[in-house]
Amino acid sequence: MPEQPYTTVIGLEVHVQLATQSKLFCRCSTQFGAEPNTQTCPVCTGLPGTLPVMNAHAFELSLQTAIALNCDIPGFTKWDRKQYYYPDLPKGYQISQFDLPMSDDGYLEIADPKDRFEPKRVRILRAHLEEDAGKSVHDEAAGKADSEIDLNRTGTPLLEIVSEPDMRSSLEARAFLQELKLLLTYIGVSDCNMQEGSLRVDANVNLHLEKDSEKVATPIVEIKNMNSFRAVERAIDYEAKRQYDEWQETGRRLGESPKQTRGWDDAAGVTRGQRSKEESSDYRYFPDPDLMPVTTTAEQVEAVRAALPELPAGLRQRLGDDYSLGHYDADVLVNQGRPVVDYYLTAADASGDPKLTCNWVTQEVLRELKDKEITIEQFGVSAERLAGLVKGIDSGAIPGPRGREVFTTMLADDCDAQEATSKLGIEQVDESELVALCQKLVDANPKIVADVKAGKQQAVGALIGQAKAQNPNVDPGRVREICLELAQQS
Amino acid sequence: MSLLDRSACQLLADLKAGEISSVELTQASLDRIEAADEKVGAFLQQSGRAALAAAEQIDVRRAAGEQLGILAGLPVAVKDVLCDSTTTTTCASKMLANFRPPYDSTVVAKLRSADAVLVGRTNMDEFAMGGSTENSAVQLTRNPWDLQRAPGGSSGGAAACVAAGMVPLSIGTDTGGSIRQPAGLCGVVGMKPTYGRVSRYGLVAFASSLDQVGPLARTAEDVALLLEAIAGHDPRDSTSLEEATPAYSQSVSKPLENMRIGVVKEQFATGLNSEVETAVRDAIAVYESLGATVKEVELPHSKYGVAAYYVIAPSEASSNLARYDGAHYGHRTDQAEMMAELEAERKQLSESGDQRGLDNLDTPLIRMYRRSRAEGFGPEVKRRIMLGTYALSAGYYDAYYLKALKVRRLIRQDYDKAFEDVDLIAGPVTASPAFKLGEMVDDPLAMYLVDLYTVSANLAGLPGLSMPCGFSEAGLPIGLQLQAPPLKEQRLLKAAHMYQQTTDWHTRRPPET
């Protein structure tokens, strides 16, 4: 990357929809995609007289996430009302957490297997639980000015995770989001589907630069409306350049203009300022008198911690320590999600050759999954059968170069490695038989022998081709070695 | 003597004995409403036909020997702030004039399952904000003892309909005294239970941390009966207490022994009407004659109660009432008129070249909110929304809301300390008997001070009861307030019953209606 005259400083706010069956304060379903306003009740539509009752499961999922993010869990947390008017917010306030969030002060470690940035710890300022608002559907058809409101989403539990401004490039921001998504997927607290809004990202971006050897920061801009990790990356890159241009033009520093909110236009590839009138909000937070504070004991925190599944960072470490995998391989496997890792672990344990198993999984198996757009659970070769293939190759029963044929047959015929091998007529070629075959070829090809002797070793390739034609089970590498040796001797 | 001169407990016995039917009783109640309510104005709505049908059902079931609920066949009035899916719930506000909730409040559901006959919805100050019922957007309610005077509020209709003998039982709500004060001014018994004793689910919120539903009737026994029907833990209300409901109607008649009554000196200081003071002191003397010892106690922070209350209650109200924005239900401004107004403003601004004005012109959505709320809410509701919005605003929160919460905690601590030495605290409900209608409408601050003796119990979450303990020379009822530690409703009821066994104030009936 070219050296820039500024450092981009990035903090992220991630809203994660928790995978509960029902909403945060009522029992309506959280299922995505239902007919508008069919998953509502008097409570989530904010009818007069209704009261919220906390969904304990949502709090449990939040605890799991916060603990996995190395956050502190205070013994006491409460609910606050964040007040603003909007038609998709039927109570006129959102139940959220203001000054005493359910967790704070954590971190998430990110690294780049391609070493484009140094591994780093991104601090988590806080993670708090809140209810989602509904959805406004603006009808922009000509002549129509009606907006419609869908309250199905109203009251869905969201965990808002706020990072410190610890990221210094869009690449780091993307790595943070990918690692966070992976972590959430491993714990199973969210489906993290960005298209369905299960994962929403806002980015706070500004620049640090130097002017007359004085360190200067530009005003912070919050970017909204980014619908993919790729969009986050592009928006940050765009915004950094835009802020640099603006800085050169205006020289305006942090604190000299109010925090601005800009929306990302993915099609146009630009951020656009939103009306300043909508930003200057005083949310008049105060504790929600309808809900009791939630207390959590150290024992409860420990119990949740103990019940957490193995997390991606620990798993990468284990794959390195116990399976001798390099960072890159471990990363590829872990990033595929727990089921692929489990598949690998089963196959590696059964084959006894973790490295070769890893090659097979990360190359052939993952290619199949990608080509056929299936999950590992739907994949036709079981981990045990893959281990059989690896073992066959290791023992020499399956010549390495024919492994892929065996694999394809296993997949096509739904059989194990042994059956595939015999179907393909693969037999181990006896060493003396191989030498005899090579001798015969050397004797029959004096021209090639002469070329080899003259130093043109690549001439031996023609003999390998002939050997394979006569017996497909021969190991080409071995044929090459023997033929070279015999040619020199003749 | 009318059927309705009997107590609810007596009527229940008569119903069980088959001496009267629920249809007869309900008809008597409806007749009385018909005859007297034109003058009193206690009801916003009566459900005559539905009530008679319900009564008939109960009579049929009783005849069939079915097990019936504890209020079986008794007419009950409900303050128009508790949701009932069979009718409108208006909170006496233009904002909710046509609002039909699609669900029942827990209290209404409990009344139904106790086989009460719901005869109508009573008038109140709009959204329960007020102390005279004059803030109703619909009608005035008059005090049955003097039709030129206010019944108190905000549960003015709830107290007046009992005082006028229209129903034996009535449900009110009390946020700063809204049951006890009108009960006191109308000469009936009213109780605000411990915060959390009765479910708030379906009670249209005014100030969530203070609101509590409670019973009104003419006797402590009747109040006990009605409280037993509505109290209890509700999983739909997170602030509802997980406490078993005592059999109030059974225990009310067991007298208290070695009763220790606390008296707060400041409550008898300047500002208290002398007739009220005399009546209250006489009532305390009655308790002494029944064996109680009287002790002076201190509630040093109660003098800040009204100030704290008028920060906390409006703050919560400003938030609770944000939902009435015209977008989803309730009053919405006329769209054509609104668009015409906006267009006229736009034209004017553009002609005068006021670009800034044009930039700041409301969007149709904002204008819809503004107009709907301006049209739908009355002046007192607006006043409190503004007070509360101000108190919660950035930069003021600590000085107002947080400070008020600290006062609130100190008031509770005062009570906890006082109740180490006494079982009950006795004192006045209001500084004077019922005031004239219109007397204070232009002086909101004077009206706020009417809550002086009652708000502390709400701030502290304690139960309090008001009952008649005498009459002024002008013939207006005077109330005695009893307060007890949290969850000690039984103690209040027993003490009130003991008093009513010895005195006959509660048997007096208003002359005019």
Q: What are φ and ψ of residue A271, in 5° steps?
A: -100, 145
Residue with tokens 């003796």: B453
* pTM: predicted TM-score of the whole model, two decimal places: 0.92
Could B328 and A91 be called an inter-chain contact, meaning their C-beta atoms sit closer than 8 Å? no
- Show the 3-state SS of A270-300: EEEECCHHHHCCCCCCEECCCCCCEECCHHH
Close Cβ partners of A463 (under 8 Å, ≥ 6 residues apart): A438, A441, A442, A445, A448, A479, A480, A483
User: What residues in B contact A150, CB-CB < 8 Å?
Assistant: none
Rounded to whole angstroms, the Cα distance separating B174 from B128 reads: 8
Helices (H), B377-434: 379-391, 403-418
- pLDDT attached to residue A277: 46
Reported residue count of chain B is: 513
Check which CATH number belongs to the domain holding B121 and give it.
3.90.1300.10
Q: Is A366 buried (19+), middle (13-18) or exposed (0-12) by CB count in 10 A?
A: middle
What's the rounded Cα separation, in Å, for the pair A189 and A474? 52
| Rg over CA atoms, chain B | 23
> CA-based angle A76:A79:A85, to the nearest 5?
160
Kindly state whether residues B366 and B239 are assigned to the same domain.
no
Structure tokens belonging to residue A223: 């970017």
Residue B341 inside a domain? The answer is yes
Report the chain B residue with the minimal C-alpha distance to residue A87.
B327
Chain A residues in contact with B99 (beta carbon < 8 A): 48
How many helical (H) and strand (E) elements, i.e. helices and strands, does chain B have? Answer: 18, 11
Q: Would you say residue B416 lies in a domain? A: no
A52, A54, A91 member nearest B323 (Cβ): A91
Distance separating alpha carbons of residues A408 and B254, to the nearest angstrom: 89
Active-site residue identified among B22, B29, B154, B472:
B154
Q: Do A49 and B323 count as a contact with CB atoms less than 8 A apart?
A: no
Give which of A24, A26, A47 to mutate to test B binding, by max B Cβ within 10 Å: A47
A90 touches chain B (CB under 8 A): yes
Of B253, B274, B293, which residue constitutes the final position of a domain?
Answer: B253
Residues ≥6 apart with Cβ < 8 Å to A299: none
Tell me the C-alpha distance between A174 and A147, whole Å. 34
Average pLDDT (A102-108) is 98
Same domain, B345 and B198: no
> What phi and psi, each to the nearest 5 degrees, are found at residue B120?
170, 175
Which of these, B325, B384, B480, lies nearest to A90 by C-alpha position? B325
Strand, coil or helix: what is A187? helix
Whether B202 and chain A come into contact, CB under 8 Å, resolves to yes
Confidence (pLDDT) at B380: 97
pLDDT (mean) for A224-243 = 96
Give the residue from B390, B403, B196 showing the smallest Cα distance to B309: B403
CB B173 within 8 A of CB B149: no
User: 3-state DSSP helix/strand/coil percent for chain B, to nearest 5?
Assistant: 45, 15, 40
DSSP 8-state secondary structure symbol assigned to residue B231: B
**pLDDT band at residue A489 using 50, 70 and 90 as cut-offs:** confident
How much is the mean pLDDT over chain A? 92
pLDDT in tens, B268-289: 987 899 999 999 999 999 999 9
Task: Name the token pair of A218.
Answer: 């530009």
Is residue B448 a part of any domain in this protein?
no
Chain A hits for B205, Cβ within 8 Å = 48-49, 290
Q: What would the pLDDT profile of A245-280 be if each residue is shown by its tens digit?
A: 999 999 999 988 888 899 999 999 999 998 654 445
Tokens describing residue B298: 């201190």
Tell me if B111 sits within 8 A of B171, measured CB to CB.
yes
Which residue carries 């039984």 as its tokens? Answer: B490
Q: What token pair was written down for A191?
A: 């489906």
Beta strands in B265-371 (DSSP E): 293-297
Domain-embedded: residue B434:
no
Q: Is B215 in the same domain as B348? A: no
| SS3 state of residue B81 | coil
B154 cis-preceded (ω within 30 degrees of 0): yes
DSSP assignment letter at A364: I
- Domain count for chain B: 2
Closest chain A residue by Cα to residue B81: A49
What are phi and psi for residue B296, nearest 5 degrees? -80, 135
Q: How near does any CA of chain B get to the CA of A294, in Å?
A: 11
A366: amino acid identity, one letter? L
Residue B297 and residue B304: Cα distance in Å, rounded?
A: 17
In sequence order, the β-bridge partners of residue A471 are none
Does some domain include residue B455?
A: no
Return the bridge partners of B217, or none: B169, B189
Residues B51 and B189 in one domain: yes
Handedness of CA B264, B270, B276, B279 (dihedral sign): positive
Residues B43 and B191 in one domain: yes
Instruction: List all residues of chain A from 253 to 312 with a beta carbon under 8 Å from chain B.
Output: 277, 282, 284-286, 289-292
When pLDDT is cut at 50, 70 and 90, the band that residue A401 belongs to is: confident
Chain A residues whose CB is inside 8 A of the B357 CB are none
Q: Are residues B240 and B350 in the same domain?
A: no
Confidence of residue A145 (pLDDT cuts 50, 70, 90): low
With respect to residue B439, please indicate whether it lies within any of the assigned structural domains. no
Handedness of CA B220, B224, B225, B229 (dihedral sign): positive
Is A284–B235 a contact, with Cβ atoms under 8 angstroms apart?
no
Helix (H) or strand (E) holding B216: strand B212-217
Question: Minimum mean pLDDT among A73-77, A207-211, A358-362: which range?
Answer: A207-211
Q: Are residues B227 and B103 in the same domain?
A: yes
Q: How far apart are CA B430 and CA B447, in angstroms?
A: 11
Residues of the domain holding B364? 332-370
Burial of B492 (0-12, 13-18, 19+ CB in 10 A): buried
Distance CA A41, CA A51 (A): 11
pLDDT computed for residue A278 by the predictor: 47
Minimum Cα–Cα distance from A85: chain B residue: B322
SS3 at position A80: strand
Side-by-side strand order, sheet with A93-96 = A93-96, A80-83, A286-287
Residue A99, exposed/middle/buried by CB under 10 A (0-12, 13-18, 19+)? exposed
Secondary structure (DSSP) of B259-310: -EEEEEGGGGSTT--HHHHHHHHHHHHHHHHTT-EEEEE--TTGGGHHHHHH
Q: Which residue of A has its CA nearest to B393?
A: A284
Asked if this assembly's ipTM is beyond 0.90, the reply is: yes
pLDDT of residue B321: 98
* Domain-terminating residue out of B343, B370, B397: B370
Looking up tokens 């002494």, which residue turns up? B288
Q: Is residue B30 part of a domain?
A: yes
Q: What is the pLDDT of residue A141?
A: 59
Rg (alpha carbons) of chain A, rounded to whole number: 30
User: Is B154 a residue of the active site?
Assistant: yes
Tokens matching residue A21: 């069956």
**Cβ <8 Å between B393 and A81:** no
Dihedral sign computed on CA atoms, order A371, A377, A381, A384: positive
* Same structural domain, B90 and B209: yes
Least confident of A317-331, A399-413, B233-247: A399-413
Please state whether beta strands B75-79 and B117-122 pair in parallel, antiparallel, or not at all (unpaired).
parallel
Distance (Å, whole) CA B153 – CA B185: 9
CB within 8 Å of chain B, chain A residues 122-161: 145, 149
Q: State how far the Cα of B133 lies from the Cα of B157, in Å rounded to an integer.
A: 8
Partner residue facing B328 (CB), from A45, A53, A54: A45
Closest listed residue to residue A112, CA positions, set A338, A335, A324: A335
Mark whether B86 and B186 lie in a shared domain: yes
Q: Burial level of A244, CB count in 10 A (0-12/13-18/19+)? A: middle
What per-residue string of b and e applies to A172-196 under the rule 16 or more CB within 10 Å gives b? bbbbbbebbbbbbebbebbebebee
Residue A263, min C-alpha distance to chain B (Å): 20
Other C-beta atoms within 10 Å of B114: how many?
19
Q: Are residues B13 and B104 in the same domain?
A: yes
The tokens describing A279, both together, are: 């930003």
Same domain, B243 and B349: no
- In chain A, the largest separation of any two C-alpha atoms, in whole Å, equals 101
Name the strand (E) or helix (H) holding B46.
strand B43-46
Catalytic site includes residue B436: no
Last residue of some domain: B319, B354, B370? Answer: B370
Number of Cβ within a 10 Å radius of residue B83: 29
* Residue of A85, A282, A289 lying closest to B316 (CB–CB): A289
Q: Which residue of B has its CA nearest to A150?
A: B328
Low-confidence spans in chain B with pLDDT less than 50 = none
Active site residue B403: no
Is the residue at B130 inside a domain?
yes
CB nearest to A49's CB, from B203, B315, B318: B203
pLDDT band at A144 (very low <50, low <70, confident <90, very high): low
pLDDT-derived band of residue A1, with 50, 70 and 90 as boundaries? very low
Half-sphere exposure of residue B29: CA atoms within 13 angstroms, side-chain side: 34
Q: Are residues B132 and B11 in the same domain?
A: yes
